[in-house]
Amino acid sequence: MAKKEAVMEVEIDPSKIENFEDYAKNYVGQKVAVLCARYQYRGKLTKVTSDCILLANARSVEISGPSNSDHPEREDNIDGTIAIKNDAIELFYQPQWVYFELSDED
């Protein structure tokens, strides 16, 4: 069973956002979900650059299920950190299931 954790809501000033990099940097240190053309991932966002984001303790989410469910229906542990090119990202978000525990969490 996943441990419940407090979720800090990110306050974003839209007037200060000029690109994806600016937006994503608000979520460094938090769990996020990323949807690309054919794949979906979740993990802890550790770094954002102008070219890519890094997700630690990454998982490939095969079937997410409803956004308000407690955990994804089916996923595979990638067992490490992955880099995702910013131009491959179609959706960057935090559904409820993204907070389900990850492997090797601190």
Tell me the pLDDT tens digit for each residue of 43-93. Answer: 999 999 999 999 999 999 999 999 999 999 999 999 899 999 999 999 999
Identify the CATH number of the domain in which residue 93 sits. Answer: 2.30.30.100
Whether 87 is covered by a domain: the verdict is yes
Whether 32 is covered by a domain: the verdict is yes
Whether 4 is covered by a domain: the verdict is no
Model pTM score? 0.83
Domain that holds residue 53: 24-99
Q: Domain count of the chain?
A: 1
Whether 5 is covered by a domain: the verdict is no
Whether 16 is covered by a domain: the verdict is no
Answer for the pair 66, 82: CB distance below 8 angstroms, yes or no: no
Nearest by Cα to 48 from 33, 31, 26: 26
